[in-house]
Structure 1
Amino acid sequence: MKFKPFFYKSLLLLLVLVLASCGSTKKSGDDLMTDARQEKNMIEREYPNVAELFNTSQGYVIFPNVGKGAYVIGGASGNGVVFENGRHIGYADLKQVDVGFQLGGKAFVEVIFFQTQSAMDDFKQETFELSANASAVILDQGISKSVEFQDGVAIVTIPKGGAMAGISVGGQRFGYVPLD
């Protein structure tokens, strides 16, 4: 019995969506905090222009391991740690589905900085999502870029590995879970 190419493409698409919806391996809060601190230390060491945002922003969330996979339709997910005024206040998850010309997989770090209390509060309401026109500053090794806030939010991504053209952040949705 011969399967048509459409069947194989559909099967591959389903696999990509399932893998993307799983996100990074579920870790304990301690493991996630360790990963977030390691990525924050790396950013502070290698990107001093971004490092100051950790101290000057109202808050931030670090997603140390975001995974993205795509075959025309793509998905991304990850788990993160939320900080407000330098204090750990909770955890977050990231989900994204997008459609367009794309193929491959990629892992990256994503940090969302909140310039104002209002932007921070919007995130904590669990209805926060990045609009289709949201853009991120993509930091590459040895290249320093300035980060600008748009509507009180700035997004930084740092590729970790994989093969995929670009990293899109528009359409991302977030969940927030405060510490007990």
Structure 2
Amino acid sequence: MKRLTSFFLFPMLILFTCTLAFADKYSDTKKMFVEAGVGNKFESAYGYALFPTIGKAGFVVGGAYGEGRVYKHGALIGTTTMTQATIGFQLGGSGFSQVIFFQDERAFNEFTKGNFEFGTEVQAVALTAAVGAAASTKGSAAVASGGKNNAEIASGGYYKGMATYTITKGGLMYEASVGGQKFTFTRK
């Protein structure tokens, strides 16, 4: 069953990710988050990881993938990839941009030591608006979501030194699932 799921899921993710039209550049993505109301975090955070596009798809079993860059005090220091596996009620595909802010050196080092995981999450996404909630023992529960220009900040604070914000770019996905995000960091 795992091979059959992979056979259908990953081509769907690749196709969906390639068709997204806006915010493909890192500077455009950063500008979207600034306009959404979290611009002060880019200046005050110790560092951040920025993902212009993460593609997500699922049918009972789902997954997501995105590539990003990691910055320390505003300077690029490496790249990161995000993979996610979920299981539960889910149907469709969506795309979103994500930024993870690191409040201090400890949180930054925890993320950049190689492999890092966020815990479980529950999220419902419809077109260009989203409602997100996260429950985690290893990650962030601060989420901002919304359309390209109208993100709502659900929680402005850090959780265990990290704050995560997402902006939905498009797609249609219904989801009540359990899973987690895994990040791999490569120093520049």
Q: Shared topology, TM-score over 0.5? A: yes
The structure where helix makes up a greater share of residues is: 1
* Aligned residues: CA RMSD: 2.8
Contact 2:61-2:90 at 8 Å conserved across structures: yes
Which residue in the other structure is 2:9 paired with? 16
Q: What is the distance in 2 between the residues matched to 1:23 and 1:114? A: 29
Q: What is the distance in 2 between the residues matched to 1:82 and 1:21? A: 23
Whether 2:186 is the aligned partner of 1:177: answer: yes
| Higher deviation after alignment, 145-154 or 59-68 | 145-154
Whether 2:59 is the aligned partner of 1:71: answer: yes
Deviations along 1:18-51, whole A, 9 cap, x unmatched? Answer: 54489956xxxxxxxx711111012212x23x11
Aligned-residue offset at 1:12 = 6.4
* Large movers: runs of 4+ above 6 Å: none
TM-score with structure 2 setting the length? 0.75
Aligned-residue offset at 1:151 = 0.6
Which residue in the other structure is 2:156 paired with? 147
Structure 2, unpaired ranges of 5+: 19-23, 121-134
Which residue in the other structure is 1:84 paired with? 72
Contact 1:61-1:82 at 8 Å conserved across structures: yes
Percent sequence identity is 34
Aligned-residue offset at 1:147 = 2.0
Which residue in the other structure is 1:102 paired with? 90
Contact 2:144-2:151 at 8 Å conserved across structures: no
Whether 2:100 is the aligned partner of 1:112: answer: yes
Q: Structure 1 122/169 Cα, relative in aligned 2: closer, same or farther at 3 Å?
A: farther
Structure 1, unpaired ranges of 5+: 1-6, 26-33
Larger Cα-atom Rg: 1
Which residue in the other structure is 1:59 paired with? 47
Aligned-residue offset at 1:166 = 5.7
TM-score with structure 1 setting the length? 0.79
Whether 2:27 is the aligned partner of 1:37: answer: yes
Deviations along 1:125-160, whole A, 9 cap, x unmatched? Answer: 112110122335132143542422111111101000
Q: Structure 1 22/173 Cα, relative in aligned 2: closer, same or farther at 3 Å?
A: farther
Contact 1:79-1:93 at 8 Å conserved across structures: yes
Contact 2:144-2:152 at 8 Å conserved across structures: no
2:159 aligned counterpart, secondary structure: coil
The structure where strand makes up a greater share of residues is: 2
| Higher deviation after alignment, 104-113 or 159-168 | 159-168
Q: Which amino acid aligns with 1:120?
A: F
Aligned-residue offset at 1:77 = 0.4
